[in-house]
């Protein structure tokens, strides 16, 4: 069976026309997705969907908006207690709204991926990092935590972004390679990680050779991400019946009475504590007997290394960060025989690292003994804790944060 040249030409021209129409449809789809993201970004702010946490489109959109402050945290974002940041700022009472990113087990290596995926949109943008001290009390990062928070798309976007130094991307690749679940099933990602981690001359050559295909792969993934993100926004908008989260006009903004809100938050926290009727923990070990074990875990915690990579990335990206850390759970540590001296190592190490990268730090160490700062014993802050967080975040956004204002908290 032979095909005549004119028949082949007919097929080729038909394929060409069809491909052009398909390309136009894809472009129209992209424009539609971008419009949805611009219009409805805030409907997904309180959600924990994959498109938000593991994609790049929504995080980049949030960073690109001057009226939105990206807040990277972990499980403290989940419990729906009164005064929770995302709810408190949902109507932008002081001119901005919060866009929290993170869920249970979002450790520093996942934060690194999310910020790396945001890429150039970070430049000059404010960003808040909320730290959970419990992540620093284990030598190894729980592989389940990282597996459940890792994103292949964010990792690829970060690793192929030459705006970040090769040393940073190499260090990130070496750390991510230790968690095979983060790249299994994606040969392109695994190849990139391995070549970057070694970074010998041959590795660089192979990366250069594969660059066109890797770029195409990421372009397809980004397009998918835009569509997924828009579908997530449409779903969230349907659920919320189109909550309008655009900032209130200046004339309608109320002056936030922080003192009044603190009283309210304290009352809410006490009421919640009374309902849960948590019994005080029994001291099972003498003071100081748990120090060596606690300090060994704290000093060797991998999380410090990952957190330092995050600080390096933020500095390279030219973002304006704020690091906030919850206090340690003193009642739990005292029950384990950990003395105040040993506990102070966490604050010292945190201050040392943030000072090294000139990043402002707000560490709520003074609230170690506050029984209602947290809602439980797992780094989940309650209404009172959120009041402090909201106050600091508001001061940070409006450039009112100073050593004096922090010292009073």
Partner 1 sequence: MEEWLAQHPRTRQALLVVCYLALILALVFMYGRGDFSTPPFVYQEF
Identify the residue among 207, 227, 234, 409 touching partner 1 (CB under 8 A): 227
Stretch that binds partner 1, among 62-70, 80-88, 143-151, 397-405 (CB under 8 A): 143-151
Beta bridge partners of 71: 100, 128
Q: Which of residues 18-37 bind partner 1 (CB under 8 A)?
A: 18-19, 21-22, 25-26
Q: Which of residues 83-112 bind partner 1 (CB under 8 A)?
A: 104-105
Identify the residue among 62, 77, 101, 221 touching partner 1 (CB under 8 A): 221
Decide whether 4 or 408 has the Cβ nearer to partner 1: 4
Q: Minimum CB separation from partner 1 for residue 221, in Å?
A: 7
Decide whether 21 or 205 has the Cβ nearer to partner 1: 21
Identify the residue among 82, 95, 148, 347 touching partner 1 (CB under 8 A): 148
E strand intervals along 232-360: 320-325
E strand intervals along 48-151: 68-72, 97-101, 126-131
DSSP 276: H
By C-alpha distance, which of 142, 152, 143, 73 is closest to 116?
Answer: 152
Assigned token pair, 218:
């990421």
**Cα distance between residue 228 and residue 224, in whole Å:** 6
Stretch that binds partner 1, among 51-59, 118-126, 328-336, 353-361 (CB under 8 A): 51-59
CB 43 within 8 A of CB 245: yes
Stretch that binds partner 1, among 147-155, 208-216, 233-241, 354-362 (CB under 8 A): 147-155
**Cα distance between residue 55 and residue 114, in whole Å:** 8
CB 70 within 8 A of CB 90: no
**Cα distance between residue 385 and residue 265, in whole Å:** 8
Site membership for partner 1, residue 371 (CB under 8 A): no
**Cα distance between residue 170 and residue 191, in whole Å:** 13
Q: Minimum CB separation from partner 1 for residue 45, in Å?
A: 18
Instruction: Using CB under 8 A, list all residues that contact partner 1.
Output: 10-11, 13-15, 17-19, 21-22, 25-26, 50-51, 54-55, 75, 78, 104-105, 144-145, 147-151, 153, 181, 220-221, 224-225, 227-228, 378
């Amino acid at each position: 069976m032979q095909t005549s040249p004119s028949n082949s030409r007919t097929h080729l021209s038909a394929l060409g026309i069809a491909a052009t129409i398909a390309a136009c449809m894809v472009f129209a789809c992209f424009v539609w997705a971008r419009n949805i993201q611009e219009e409805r970004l805030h409907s997904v702010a309180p959600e924990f969907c994959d498109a938000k946490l593991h994609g790049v489109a929504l995080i980049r959109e949030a960073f690109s908006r001057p009226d939105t402050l990206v807040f990277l945290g972990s499980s403290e974002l989940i419990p729906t207690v009164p005064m929770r940041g995302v709810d408190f700022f949902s109507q932008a009472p002081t001119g901005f709204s919060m866009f929290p990113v993170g869920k249970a087990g979002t450790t520093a290596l996942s934060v690194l991926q999310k910020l790396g995926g945001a890429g150039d949109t970070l430049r000059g943008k404010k960003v808040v990092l909320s730290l959970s001290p419990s992540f620093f009390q284990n030598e190894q990062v729980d592989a389940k935590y990282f597996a459940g928070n890792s994103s292949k798309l964010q990792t690829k976007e970060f690793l192929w972004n030459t705006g970040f130094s090769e040393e940073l991307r190499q260090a990130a690749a070496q750390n991510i390679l230790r968690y095979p679940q983060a790249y299994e099933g994606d040969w392109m990602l695994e190849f990139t990680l391995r070549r970057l981690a070694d970074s010998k001359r041959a590795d660089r050559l192979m990366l250069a050779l594969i660059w066109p295909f890797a770029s195409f792969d990421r372009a397809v993934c980004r397009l998918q991400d835009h569509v997924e993100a828009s579908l997530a926004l449409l779903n969230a908008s349907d659920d919320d019946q189109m909550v309008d989260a655009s900032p209130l006009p200046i004339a309608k903004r109320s002056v936030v009475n922080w003192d009044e809100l603190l009283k309210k938050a304290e009352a809410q926290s006490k009421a919640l504590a009374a309902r849960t009727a948590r019994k005080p923990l029994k001291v099972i070990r003498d003071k100081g007997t748990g120090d060596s074990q606690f300090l060994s875990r704290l000093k060797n915690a991998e999380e410090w290394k990952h957190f330092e990579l995050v600080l390096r990335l933020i500095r390279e990206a030219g973002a304006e960060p704020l690091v906030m850390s919850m206090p340690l759970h003193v009642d739990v540590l005292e029950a384990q025989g950990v003395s105040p001296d040993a506990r102070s190592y966490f604050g010292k190490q945190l201050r040392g690292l943030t000072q090294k990268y000139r990043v402002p730090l707000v560490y709520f160490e003074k609230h170690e003994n506050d029984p209602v700062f947290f809602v439980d014993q797992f780094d989940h802050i309650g209404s009172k804790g959120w009041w402090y967080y909201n106050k600091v975040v508001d001061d940070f956004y409006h450039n009112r944060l100073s050593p004096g204002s922090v010292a009073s908290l």
